Amino acid sequence: MECIMWARVGLMGSVALGSVFWAQKNKTETSPYELKLIQVLFRHGARTPLKSIPDVLEAQWVPQLLVAPAHTEIDYMVTDLQGGPRPPAPVEDSYRAKILTGGTYPGQLTTLGMQQLYDLGVRLRKKYIQEEPFLTPPFNPKEVYIRSTNIVRTIESAKCLVAGLFQQEQAGVVSILTDKAENEILYPNYHGCKLLKRLIGHRWGDSSTLPDIAADLQSIQRALGVDPHQHLDFILIRDDMVARESHGLPLPTALENWRSIVEQRAVDMICHIYEPSKRQNLQLCVGPLFHILLNNIEDKIQGTTSKPDRKLFLYSVHDTTLMPCLMALGVFDMKWPPYAADITLELYQHRQTNQHYVKVSYIGQDQKIPGCSDVYCPLHEFKEALAVYALPDERYHTLCDSVDDHPKL
């Protein structure tokens, strides 16, 4: 499939996904690298499904599944990027126009999901407060920047992570920043980027007609007893299946035998949709986000930031953010990112040479990025690797509006 062929070689000519794990140094040794900045992109936690598989055993998505644990509560507010009122949220509005069996809305963070993000916060606390005293408890808005997509599950996920990271201790209100839907760059924005919609928007539907995927889809629809005219695809099936399994809700019996095929075909679909061998596709998916990540690093090194005390950037995003990021980084493992998965970028400075390095991890495992000579990637190599995809805002918008130059493929 598209991703496998591309990932084996990668744009940099590197080998086999680039996910070489680094042996951890003895904790008693003083590292030659001094931590300077952390940036974390994380998926929201477990949630109600976006849609239920039609014509099958209904799961009861009752309100009791969405109760917030007391230890995840903090004092927070949601604003736009300038600190003004929260923008309208059309994606969230679309969820709330529907009700699942049991009475809850699609796409809502559950108690389990809240705990998963709290646990991720605890993991970050152990690493960056307890083992290495880098962040200063309690929560300090001068040190921590938090941005989320303007969707309730990602906003609540950010809140729960901060609660775990700082154990509900805060020296000021936690501000979670969001942007207008048409300007959102924390996920591939088909509505805000005309060229992205032109290049890959149609590939979602096309992916279900690929011979192998179509044959398996027909077989699973027959096994489930779903009307062949019902719209169904493997991403939808996987979404409902994983949501049910995570919460201990019943699965249609016929689905039990299809679990591994559903997982594989959902990834095959996403590889076809993003078509990562075409650089511009990934540029339009993650380019502005990569530009921000690189800018944050450069501002820290040059001392040009207006927030010199900032040490941590948190970005609350989606599986559809992490996958193109992993593809662009050359470390996509052909598995759908689980709830609460994270990509973490750490900026280091060598204590002797003063040279800067970036280390990338995915779900706690260090990754060797194609184009980097080591897991501790020299900054110039890291910047070259990301420059293939990074797009400044002006260039991104120019490309997005250039649909006339790109006939539908």
**Residues assigned a catalytic role:** 44, 319
Phi, psi of 153 (to 5 degrees): -65, -35
Cα 89–Cα 94–Cα 99 angle in degrees, nearest 5:
130
Neighbouring CB atoms inside 10 A of 118's CB total 25
DSSP 178-214: E--GGG--SS--TTT-HHHIIIIITHHHHHTTSHHHH
Residue in this structure with the two tokens 């929201």, named with its chain if needed: 44
Strand ranges (DSSP E) for 234-286?
Answer: none
Q: How far is CA 153 from the centre of its chain?
A: 13
Which amino acid type is present at position 9? V
Point out which residues pair with 315 in neighbouring strands.
Answer: 41, 147
Q: What angle do CA 222, 223, 224 make, to 5 degrees?
A: 90
- Residue-wise burial string across 300-327, b where 16 or more C-beta atoms lie within 10 A, e elsewhere: beeeeeeeeebbbbbbbbbbbbbbbbbb
Cβ distance 3 to 302 under 8 Å? no
Under 8 Å between Cβ of 76 and 176: yes
Separation CA 57–CA 269 (nearest Å): 25
Output the CA–CA distances (angstroms, integers) from residue 80 to 64, 76, 209, 288, 405, in the order listed.
31, 14, 40, 18, 33
- For residue 1, give the DSSP letter: -
Cα–Cα distance, 356 to 207 (Å, whole number): 42
Burial degree of 108 (CB within 10 A; 0-12, 13-18, 19+): buried
Token pair for residue 8?
A: 């084996």
Question: What is the β-pairing status of strands 342-350 and 33-43?
Answer: antiparallel
Q: What are phi and psi of 395, to 5 degrees?
A: -65, -40
Phi, psi of 360, rounded to the nearest 5 degrees: -110, 135
